[in-house]
Amino acid sequence: MALVAGLITFWAIRNDSQTSAAADCPPGAVEIKTAPIPKPEEIELVVLNGTDRDGLAEQAAVQLEDRGFIVTETGDADEDYDGTALVYYGPDQYAAGLHAHAYFYQGHDAFDLDWGDKPITVVLGDDFAEVRSASDARQSFAQGGIGEAPKGTCTVE
C-alpha cells in the first residue's frame, strides 16, 4: 500500500501543471517571472543624468528613495537622452523593471536579454521633471499591466 501511495505521489508531482510552466516556453526562450511584483523597498536602482542639468540624478534619487526604492548609485550617463527617462533592465529584473518604469511619466523601458545581473538603471533625460507619486505609479502600472513578453522570452509566475 505504501508503494502504491508513493508511486501516486510521484506521478502527481511529476505531472503537476504548476511545476511545468517552462514546458510551454518555446525552445531557447528565456524565462521571465511576472509575479510577484516586488515592492519598491526590494528594488535597487542606479540613476544616471543624461542631460547637462547639474544634480538631476541626485534630485531624482531623493524622490525615488522617498517612494521606498533603494538607490545604490548616481552619476552621469555616457550619452545624452532627450526623453523623460529610459529604464534598463533584464530578464532577472523583469517585474521590478516594469514597476520602476511606472514611476516615470512618459518614460521608456529598455528591456535587454543580455543585461545579466547588472542593476536596473534609469537614465534621466531633458524632459524629466519629477518622479511620479506612488499612487500615480500604481495607477499607471494597473493600466499598463505586464503586457506581452518581450521577443525571445516567455513568462512564468
What are the structural domains, with CATH classification, of the chain? 27-156 (3.30.70.2390)
Tell me the pLDDT of the chain averaged across its residues: 85
- For the chain, which residues score pLDDT lower than 70? 1-23
Q: How much is the pTM?
A: 0.81
DSSP state of 36: S
Q: How far is CA 101 from CA 11, 74, 87, 111, in A?
A: 42, 17, 6, 11
Task: Give the burial class of 109: count Cβ atoms within 10 A of its Cβ; 0-12 exposed, 13-18 middle, 19 or more buried.
Answer: buried
8-45 pLDDT, tens digit per residue, is 444 444 444 444 444 578 888 999 888 888 999 999 99
Half-sphere exposure in the Cβ direction for 155 (13 Å, CA): 11
Closest CA to 110 of 127, 118, 99, 98: 98
